[in-house]
Structure 1
Amino acid sequence: MTVGSRLRSAVLPAWRGEDGAPVSEAGWRATVLAWHVAVAAMLGTALVRAVAVVDADGGPRALLVGALVVWAAAYALLGAHALVSRHERRANAYLAVMVTAIGVVGWVEPSLLFLMFLVYTQVWFLTESVPAGVRWTVAAAAASTVGPLLAWTRGDEPLWGPGQTLVGLAFSLAMGLWVNGLLAKSEQRAALIEELESTRAELADAHREQGVAAERERWAREVHDTLAQGYTSIVVLAQTVAAQLPGDPGAAAERVALIEEVARENLAEARAMVAAFAPVALDSSTLVDALGRLAERFGRETGLATRLDTAALAGDAGLTRVEEIVLLRGAQEALANVRRHAAARAVVLRVSRVETGEAAHVSVHVEDDGVGFDPAVADGVGLAGLRDRAEQVGGAVDVVSAPGAGTRVTVRVPAR
């Protein structure tokens, strides 16, 4: 941003409407009007003195009055517009007229050189660079000094007349450069603030996206651990019914009833997820009760010998509802893997509490006598999600297995 545009933005900003305007429309109009009034007042005062007070013959008086009138007309036609715009040609044309007029004022009547205050100010408002401001300031000072300097050489005026002009020149240059430096620093601060706000907005977007991703991952894990497993059970049961229906309608009818039971539980799970409730299996019941129902239904669905062993629990588990959900989901995931992969004949669920001081924890173990696998090369989405869920409450998941040696999945959480 150039010097003139910085000054215009600071003192005579263009009104941009209600959104983002540095001043209101009324404030902007009042500022511009005040500036015009100040120019008119100073030029008018000088014109009155030129007409009524200045003691000069007709020629110089007419020249002085004409210069002031031309200056005022140039301001009305060129300068006023240039002050609130970036029209460089109009600004330069007006500055040329103003410098010429101040030269005539200094030549004919140095007492009117109080107008230099107006000249120096307008130079820095209208110029678009520091070098241009310096050039026009020096030109105005030189033009206004010629007359007083010649008068001094003739002995008509003391040396302090031209000296005042030179002092004004130095003051104008110092003030112009100082104000430009302040505005440059202000512009840098504004750019830094804008950059910081942009960075903050980017961080907010990143946090929001991270939250969306985490919520999506949570829902995916919930669906996998509940609804997907329920639908898998329904599909397997439906296939069993189709196979049993021709030869054993009674057994098929039992399987159909089990399909209805699983479907109802899945529907309840879906409603609980939408309402952000705890799993239906834990609704108004303990963890042991929920695991018992899970083991019983798994045995009915698969025909595998399934039992729940709570001998090592030794009383209350001392868990929060969130920790109970982690253990229940772990048991559900382990049993789903048994159904899909183990080809087992028997499954045991064990619940235990280990008291080791501050490291006390409760574990759920799911053991089968199936084909086993190598945990180093096979870790599905379900187990990965289960590990994430356990780590959120300070727990862990261990998988012990080997080809042909069955599998034991252990999910443990801290206990109080």
Structure 2
Amino acid sequence: MTTGLLGSAVVPARGADDGGAPLPEAGLRATVLVLHAAFVVLVAVASLVVLVGDVDGSRPVLMTALATWTVAYLLLGAPAVRGSDVRRARAYLVVHVAVFGVLAWEQPSLLFLMFLAYPQVWFLVESVREGVSWTVALALAGTIGPAISWTRGTEPLWGPGQTLVGMVLSLAMGLWVSRVTDRSRQRAVLIGQLEATRAELADAHHQQGMVAERERLAREVHDTLAQGYTSIVVLAQAAAAALAGNPSAAAERLALIEEVARENLAEARAMVAAFSPVALDSSTLVEALQRLADRFGRETGIATRLDTAALADTEAGLSRAEEIVLLRGAQEALANVRRHASASAVVLRIGRVGSGESAQVSVHVEDDGVGFDPAETAGVGLAGLRDRAAEVGGAVDVVSQPGRGTRVTVRVPAR
């Protein structure tokens, strides 16, 4: 990772908490490669100028300065550009400034190397203040010699002027890159925050889905398996009581136990696979309610019937989810009749009222049992049934008084 401001436009500076690189790593490699290539080419050109050109300064001094700069770049500058060694970077900049002071003093015409010297500064510094300081130091080193020569009349004014103009351009470039880098880092931070928020939302949705699935399974277990096992227990007790005096009645109870157990097994398999209730598999809602009423009557001995007079058409115009709500409502109401009502008769009614968007289909389960006060009794089954009905835009009503029976009504919107 590079430590310089120009380098941080490609990758973030050392220790920066910016959420990621503003530009890809490939950009860094390409930029550093160009920097190295420029150094090799310009040093080679400068060496040729010193060796074969017409120079005013000492050739040995100039070649020594160029050689010193080259060695310093190989040992200090290049590793500092690629890595995060602050000491190497600062040591190189010291040599850097000193070499250009010598070159400017001995041979101002070699100051075309400033084209490379100024960008190197911004690749090696870690802050704008440091970049400005080293840029000014480099400009002064490159200006003092030519300025003195100008005062003596041996150097034109444009020599030190070019160096100062290059300093201004270098400062402008460094400040602009610093500003662009800061904005890039801010965008990277925002992107990181957005990604973190998205991950949190995804996790929250996942957790919400898990909770919803647990609630669904809990309702399904209560509405199907638990009621089926309750029926099996009651039937087993009845069969045991009738076994000695009435073997045929006991056999009938055992057959019902087998039937209920098979249905429970099918419901468990459907629950695992998230299928529709077995009772609605290849049958209408009315047919499923009829079978439910018939089996309840056989299991309990309570007179049970299904009244469809209020349903003008057996096609109720319901979705499968709405049919499941009505069927589960009837199952829950009958389970409560079995456990609590001490009823002698139960009537299931299914009807459709209204038209258009206000149309509703309802299932009523009414018994003549002991009744209860709905305000004082809250069951898990009815609470789950209300939640299930609310999911499809329906509602559940319970009307009961002690000694006057109970009526449970489940309503869902119809199309």
TM-score by length of 2: 0.91
**Is the 2:47–2:66 Cα contact (8 Å) retained in structure 1?**
yes
Output the CA distance in 1 between the equivalents of 2:314 and 2:254: 37
Q: Does 1:363 align with 2:362?
A: yes
- SS for the counterpart of 2:346 is strand
Output the CA distance in 2 between the equivalents of 1:32 and 1:238: 85
- Aligned counterpart, 1:183: 181
Using the TM superposition, give the Cα deviation of residue 357 of structure 1 relative to its aligned residue in structure 2, in angstroms: 5.2
Counterparts in 2 of 1:317 and 1:390: CA distance versus 1, 3 Å: farther
After the TM superposition, list the runs of 4 or more consecutive aligned residues in structure 1 that deviate by more than 6 angstroms.
none
Q: Does 1:22 align with 2:15?
A: no
Using the TM superposition, give the Cα deviation of residue 31 of structure 1 relative to its aligned residue in structure 2, in angstroms: 4.8
Counterpart amino acid of 2:295? R
- Structure 1: 5+ residue runs without aligned partners? 15-19
Using the TM superposition, give the Cα deviation of residue 12 of structure 1 relative to its aligned residue in structure 2, in angstroms: 7.9
- SS for the counterpart of 2:56 is coil
1:307-326 deviation line (CA, Å, top 9, x unaligned): 22222223334223332222
Output the CA distance in 1 between the equivalents of 2:178 and 2:116: 18
- Which residue of 259, 275, 278 corresponds with 2:276? 278
Counterpart amino acid of 2:321? V
- Aligned counterpart, 1:82: 80
Identity of aligned residues (%): 69
Output the CA distance in 2 between the equivalents of 1:7 and 1:35: 11
Using the TM superposition, give the Cα deviation of residue 28 of structure 1 relative to its aligned residue in structure 2, in angstroms: 6.3
- SS for the counterpart of 2:369 is coil
**Is the 1:13–1:84 Cα contact (8 Å) retained in structure 2?**
no
| Superposition CA RMSD, Å | 2.4
- Aligned counterpart, 2:105: 107
Output the CA distance in 2 between the equivalents of 1:354 and 1:361: 5
Using the TM superposition, give the Cα deviation of residue 23 of structure 1 relative to its aligned residue in structure 2, in angstroms: 4.2
Output the CA distance in 1 between the equivalents of 2:133 and 2:304: 98
Counterpart amino acid of 2:340? H
- Aligned counterpart, 2:321: 322
Q: Does 1:262 align with 2:260?
A: yes
- Aligned counterpart, 1:353: 352
Output the CA distance in 1 between the equivalents of 2:157 and 2:5: 37
**Is the 1:12–1:32 Cα contact (8 Å) retained in structure 2?**
no
Output the CA distance in 1 between the equivalents of 2:59 and 2:158: 24
- SS for the counterpart of 2:240 is helix
1:172-227 deviation line (CA, Å, top 9, x unaligned): 11110011101111111111112112212222222222223222222222222112
Counterpart amino acid of 2:128? V
- Aligned counterpart, 1:35: 35
How many residues align? The count is 406
**Is the 1:369–1:405 Cα contact (8 Å) retained in structure 2?**
yes
- Aligned counterpart, 2:214: 216
**Is the 1:372–1:404 Cα contact (8 Å) retained in structure 2?**
yes
Output the CA distance in 1 between the equivalents of 2:4 and 2:330: 71
Using the TM superposition, give the Cα deviation of residue 350 of structure 1 relative to its aligned residue in structure 2, in angstroms: 1.4
- Aligned counterpart, 1:398: 397
Output the CA distance in 1 between the equivalents of 2:367 and 2:96: 100
Counterpart amino acid of 1:55? V
Using the TM superposition, give the Cα deviation of residue 95 of structure 1 relative to its aligned residue in structure 2, in angstroms: 0.4
- Aligned counterpart, 1:17: none
Counterpart amino acid of 2:324? I
Worse overlay, 148-157 or 317-326: 317-326
Q: Does 1:164 align with 2:162?
A: yes
**Is the 1:350–1:366 Cα contact (8 Å) retained in structure 2?**
yes
**Is the 2:5–2:125 Cα contact (8 Å) retained in structure 1?**
no
- Aligned counterpart, 2:342: 343
- Aligned counterpart, 2:124: 126
Output the CA distance in 2 between the equivalents of 1:358 and 1:92: 79
Output the CA distance in 1 between the equivalents of 2:251 and 2:331: 25
- Aligned counterpart, 1:246: 244
TM-score by length of 1: 0.91
- Aligned counterpart, 2:53: 53
**Is the 1:103–1:147 Cα contact (8 Å) retained in structure 2?**
yes
**Is the 1:317–1:362 Cα contact (8 Å) retained in structure 2?**
no
- Aligned counterpart, 2:44: 44
- SS for the counterpart of 1:375 is coil
Counterpart amino acid of 1:22? P
- Structure 2: 5+ residue runs without aligned partners? 14-20
Using the TM superposition, give the Cα deviation of residue 30 of structure 1 relative to its aligned residue in structure 2, in angstroms: 5.6
Counterpart amino acid of 2:42? M
Worse overlay, 254-263 or 274-283: 274-283
Using the TM superposition, give the Cα deviation of residue 414 of structure 1 relative to its aligned residue in structure 2, in angstroms: 2.1
- Identify which of structures 1 and 2 has the higher relative contact order when contacts are C-alpha pairs closer than 8 Å and 6+ apart: 2
Output the CA distance in 1 between the equivalents of 2:356 and 2:84: 78
